Amino acid sequence: MVGKMKDELLHDHNHDGIDRRGFLKCMAWAGTGAFCVIRGGVLSSYSLSRMREMSPKEMAGELSFVQISDSHMGFNKPANPDVAGTLKAAVEKINGLAAAPEFILHTGDISHLSKPEEFDTVDQILKDARPKDVFYVPGEHDVLNDDGKQFLERYGKGSKGAGWYSFDKKGVHFVGLVNVLNLKAGGLGTLGHEQLEWLEDDVKHLKHSTPIVVFAHIPLWSVYPEWGWGTEDSAQALSYLKKFGSVTVLNGHIHQTMQKVEGNVTFHTAASTAFPQPQPGKADSPGPMKVPAEQLRSVLGIEQASAYFGKSNQFKLTERKKKHEEKCVYCSSWSRDDIGNRRPGREREVFRPGAAEARSHGSEDR
C-alpha cells in the first residue's frame, strides 16, 4: 500500500499540493474502464484501476477486451472540468496492460451534446489506444437533435436500423443494441419492435453453447426505474437469449459499477470516464456528483493523504487523513477493510458464478 500510494504527488508545479496525477488518483473513478476476459465461455470483469493487483494468469483467457463508457466529451462543469484528461487516463491504463486487449467497447455517451468536435476529440484520444478496433453503441447524449443520424454516419457502418449490429470474435457472439431513441414521456429506455425482431433472428441460428455478450447504453435490467435506469422492453430481448448457457450484458449510463446475476445472465454496468453519479435513490436527482467550491481544493489536495501513506505506520489513522476523507466526495464513499486499507465502495469484483448468484438472490432462491 505504501509503495502504491507514493506516486500521488509527483509534480507540484504550483506548490499548492495539487498535481494532475494526484487529482486523477483521488477520484477513484477517474480513468476507469473494465477489463473483460472470457475463460471457458464465462466473462469476468475487472476495474482497470485494480489491474496492478492481478496476476498474468488471472488476465489470461480465450479473449479479452476493454469496456469504457460515458466519456461525455464537452462536459466542463465542476464535477470534472477535464473530461479529455480522464479519458486519456483510461487510455493510459489500457495501454499499460501486460497483454493488449483485442478491442474496446464504448457503451455510449461518447459526447455530451452530440457536437462533431466532441466526437472528433474522443476519436483522436482513442487513436492512442493499443487496441485499434473500437465498437460503439449510442447513448442519449450522442443522438441529440438529429435522432442519431450523425452517430450512424460516424460509427454505424454495416449496422442495421438505428445502429444495432452483431459480430463474432473467437467463438463469442457480440450484440450491440440501441435503446436511447424514441423515448416516450414517463418511460424508460426502449429497443422497439424492429430491433427485437432482428435480435430474435440474429441469435436463432447460434448453438446453445455460444457465449453471448450484449452491450447497450441504458441498463437492460431494472436498476432504478424512478430515475429512468432501465429499459421498457428488455425482458423481451432477454427471452431470446434464454437458451444460451452464458450471457453477459454490459451497460453504461449510470456512471457507476454494478453487477447482478439472473439465471444464465450476468449484468454489468461500467463507470464513466467523465464523472460519477449518485447511487440509486441516494440523491434528489441523478445529476453529476458535484464538488462544492470550498471542497474542491481538499478533493484535489491529495498531498495530505500521500504524505501519510509515505510513512510506515500506515494502518494508524491520523486526524489529518480522516479529515481529508470525510471532506473528499470521492474518498468518503470508500470503506476500510479489517486491516485499515482503503477500498473503493463500488469497485468491480472478480465474478464467480456461484458466489455472485448467492449475493444477488440469497441461497434460498437457487
Partner 1 sequence: MKIDNFSFGPGALTVPVGTMVTWTNRDDIPHTVVSTDGAFKSKVLDTDEKFSFTFAKAGTYPYFCSIHPKMTAKVIVQ
CB of 60 vs partner 1, minimal distance in Å: 40
CB of 293 vs partner 1, minimal distance in Å: 14
- Which parts of this chain interact with partner 1 (CB under 8 A)? 77, 79, 112-114, 140-141, 144-145, 183-188, 226-228, 284-288, 290
Which one, 163 or 288, has the nearer CB to partner 1? 288
Tell me how crowded residue 351 is: count the other CB atoms within 10 A of its CB: 18
Which one, 114 or 256, has the nearer CB to partner 1? 114
Provide the pairing of β-strand 34-39 with 134-136: unpaired
CB of 39 vs partner 1, minimal distance in Å: 38
CA proximity to 122, closest of 88, 159, 164:
88
Contacts of residue 229, Cβ cutoff 8 Å, sequence gap at least 6: 188, 218, 219, 222, 223, 253, 254, 280, 286
Which one, 19 or 70, has the nearer CB to partner 1? 70
CB 303 within 8 A of CB 22: yes
Integer CA distances (angstroms), 205 to 15, 142, 199, 263, 264, in order:
63, 32, 11, 22, 19
CB 290 within 8 A of CB 297: no
CB of 299 vs partner 1, minimal distance in Å: 17
The tally of CA atoms less than 13 A away on the side-chain side of residue 147 is: 4
Cross-strand partners of 79 = none
**Which stretch of DSSP H or E encloses residue 307?**
helix 303-309
Exposure b/e, 280-297, CB count within 10 A at least 16 = b? beeeeebebbebeeeeee
Compute CA 209 distance to the chain's CA centroid, rounded to the nearest angstrom.
27
**Which stretch of DSSP H or E encloses residue 204?**
helix 193-204
CB 362 within 8 A of CB 54: no
CB of 163 vs partner 1, minimal distance in Å: 17
Which one, 79 or 249, has the nearer CB to partner 1? 79
CA proximity to 211, closest of 177, 250, 251:
250
Which one, 75 or 135, has the nearer CB to partner 1? 75
CB 261 within 8 A of CB 250: no
Integer CA distances (angstroms), 86 to 93, 106, 192, 283, in order:
11, 15, 34, 24
CB of 271 vs partner 1, minimal distance in Å: 17
CB of 222 vs partner 1, minimal distance in Å: 13
CB of 41 vs partner 1, minimal distance in Å: 37
Which one, 112 or 321, has the nearer CB to partner 1? 112
Which one, 184 or 205, has the nearer CB to partner 1? 184
CB of 262 vs partner 1, minimal distance in Å: 23
Which one, 114 or 121, has the nearer CB to partner 1? 114
CB of 114 vs partner 1, minimal distance in Å: 7
